[in-house]
A and B are shown apart, each in its own frame.
Chain A
């Protein structure tokens, strides 16, 4: 059994050893999985909001997609990874309460922000499991790069 490491909201982890990075209960949040197959280095971040420039108070920067990707990348760079060799998978961005106007664009914007940020960094997105109206849970096998996504009212799939 591989060791499991749970990534909660506003957390990230970059690992070199084979393990399972998991994130349970992702609603409108975005989870970004990065994988360097050659070096077997993997990272996962769980962010809640799209853009750190929106913050009006001194809040934890890891809550934002752009900053979370930044810190994860700098940690991967320090281990010798190059952006051109990193592949990404994005999960989340569900619109759970459809009647709430104020949150209705956050889910969408989280995914948009993740795509834009990764494109800007020159990282290829190889899979996405986003949108819809159900929460998800993610398990990332850092040995193979496989990502398994589970939903409460639906099948568990591999992306």
Chain B
């Protein structure tokens, strides 16, 4: 199996920060390919990435939303034969220097997906109140469903192997995908672990979640997870390129 690692960055109007994020990934020790999936940005995100030397760029013709954007990246990673994929935001919040630790944990082979978690001891991350309430309720629900051990179910800073890529390429929730995706993996019998990472405040742009959205987010994800419990999953090969 290929040991190549692809870092997938979903980008929606991240022109201010994307270059720094991509370059800091290339500055890491070890070989990482970078794919930016531009989700129909209205700013210069696409142009900025085109100007970067080695970065792969996939441009969605219009704004599809975070879930479908990530799934495009998963499909690309799977079809291009990458052994591992890392999911990392383009706004500079995710600590790029923690990527090797995430990858190493998956490569060890006792986990299929590793979450870079904000809540595991020793991180000073302080999210807003509404976000904290919504996320903790949701996290508890998801954590209970998948048998415990995960505190940060909404983190979008994760590393996964090809088994996970195959599942996600086939089925990935459309918006606020992370918690539901963990339940999906659990249903497939794949193993999820988390390790602590230190999150940084975003370097630019704006958060996609407002307090009003937080309520919708809770209900929508809870419903999706509830329905998933009654859904039959059929085995697919995943690789169909």
Are A and B subunits of one complex? no
What is B's interface to A at a CB cutoff of 8 Å?
Answer: none
What is A's interface to B at a CB cutoff of 8 Å?
Answer: none
